[in-house]
Amino acid sequence: MTTPENGPPPNSADHARTLLEFLGEHRSALSPLLIMSHDFPDPDAIGSMYGLQHLVQSAFGIEARIAYSGIIGRVENQAMVRTLRIRMHRFHPVLLKRFANVALVDTQPVFGNNSFPGNRKATLVLDQHPGDTPPQAGLAIVDPGCGATCVLVAQALLQASADIPARVATALAYGILTDTLDLYRARRGDVTQTYLEVMRHADMRALARIRNPLRSRKFFSVLGRGIREAVQYRRLVVSHLGLVDAPDRVSQVAEFLLTYERAQWCFVSGRYKGRLHVSLRSVHQDAQAGEVLRNVFVQRTQAGGHGPIGGGSCRIGLDAPEEKWSERERVLTERLRGRLRIRSTTEPRKPFAS
């Protein structure tokens, strides 16, 4: 990590310089490069992978391929990939043998949310999430204040004075917008500045199409279930969705329920392919939602997050009986209530059941 002995902490422009230096120095050794992110990539992950691919290819002649694990579940994310024609390959472990160089963006090797082996050294790590230990990598840039990993990539592209195609700029802008809640969570001037500069190259019509997608019947039925089944424990709203058609439904419902005027925390779970996926959201911008969730889970690596956003998953088993699923949902909710010190003596209510 680049941390000067004194002076202000490095901002995205400093990080971009470090990244460009590294890429310039090792360019021939880095090709071909496999670019990965966390499983079930979100717009910041997709935008960072796509932006980094364009940067290394166009400015350094490094051949690069994007691989993703999990599915692209949210309809906005599917629209992003389709509208911007982003070429993403399904991850397969054989790629780790074929590519000597792997770049990880928006995640880190030891994080439990990706398909990269935790004990392998990455070539490059670009991330906004604070970790317990510095990542094992040829170069690791971890900047928890940058708002979105896309900010680091966008700043490097701007500095490389590479021509930024509208499709790449739109992906980066959308990644920044989603991770910073429309810049509401942009805490540093260089984050907003980077966004404005990359926005000048973006395609506003494409961005509008991505942000206002048509939704499937499934989406509404899961949302309806999430609302009906929601249980309120004072300032905490909990909803267990049961089986979902994509893990992203969990965060979508959590974000929606958080807009309830009496909610300060939302905890939502969903069952997908033998795993229980959970999302935690808080209205408090400085809430350590990731840390809260790590305390709630048995294994700390099963959860993560930053600021008011936390997520995680744990294996229950494809053929696990209903009791095993509901017991885990109950235990996680209990532990979360303990952690948030919400011990209501009254019976929990279903505020939207009727």
Residues near Mn ion (CB under 5 A) are: 44, 106, 149, 179
Q: Closer CB to Mn ion, residue 103 or residue 263?
A: 103
Closest distance to Mn ion from the beta carbon of 149 (Å): 5
CA contacts within 13 A on the Cβ side of 279:
22
CB count within 10 Å of CB 315 equals: 11
Closest distance to Mn ion from the beta carbon of 335 (Å): 26
Separation between Cα atoms, residue 210 and residue 174, nearest integer Å = 9
Peptide bond into 32 cis (omega under 30): yes
Q: Closer CB to Mn ion, residue 49 or residue 292?
A: 49
Separation between Cα atoms, residue 97 and residue 107, nearest integer Å = 20
Closest distance to Mn ion from the beta carbon of 347 (Å): 39
Do 268 and 226 form a contact (C-beta atoms < 8 A)? yes
Q: Closer CB to Mn ion, residue 179 or residue 190?
A: 179
Q: Which residue is nearest to Mn ion (CB)?
A: 44
Q: Closer CB to Mn ion, residue 67 or residue 105?
A: 105
DSSP 8-class letter at 7: S
CB count within 10 Å of CB 221 equals: 11
Q: Closer CB to Mn ion, residue 27 or residue 188?
A: 188
Separation between Cα atoms, residue 234 and residue 237, nearest integer Å = 8
Closest distance to Mn ion from the beta carbon of 342 (Å): 28
Closest distance to Mn ion from the beta carbon of 110 (Å): 17
CB count within 10 Å of CB 241 equals: 21
Closest distance to Mn ion from the beta carbon of 313 (Å): 17
Q: Closer CB to Mn ion, residue 177 or residue 263?
A: 177
Separation between Cα atoms, residue 318 and residue 43, nearest integer Å = 28
DSSP 8-class letter at 302: G
Closest distance to Mn ion from the beta carbon of 338 (Å): 29
Q: Closer CB to Mn ion, residue 111 or residue 325?
A: 111
Closest distance to Mn ion from the beta carbon of 44 (Å): 3
> Is residue 116 exposed (0-12), middle (13-18) or buried (19+ Cβ within 10 Å)?
buried
Separation between Cα atoms, residue 287 and residue 305, nearest integer Å = 10
**What is residue 305's three-state secondary structure?**
strand
Do 297 and 280 form a contact (C-beta atoms < 8 A)? no
Amino acid 294 reads R
Do 255 and 229 form a contact (C-beta atoms < 8 A)? no
Tokens 């990598």 correspond to what residue? 137
Closest distance to Mn ion from the beta carbon of 108 (Å): 12
Q: What are phi and psi of 60, to 5 degrees?
A: -130, 0
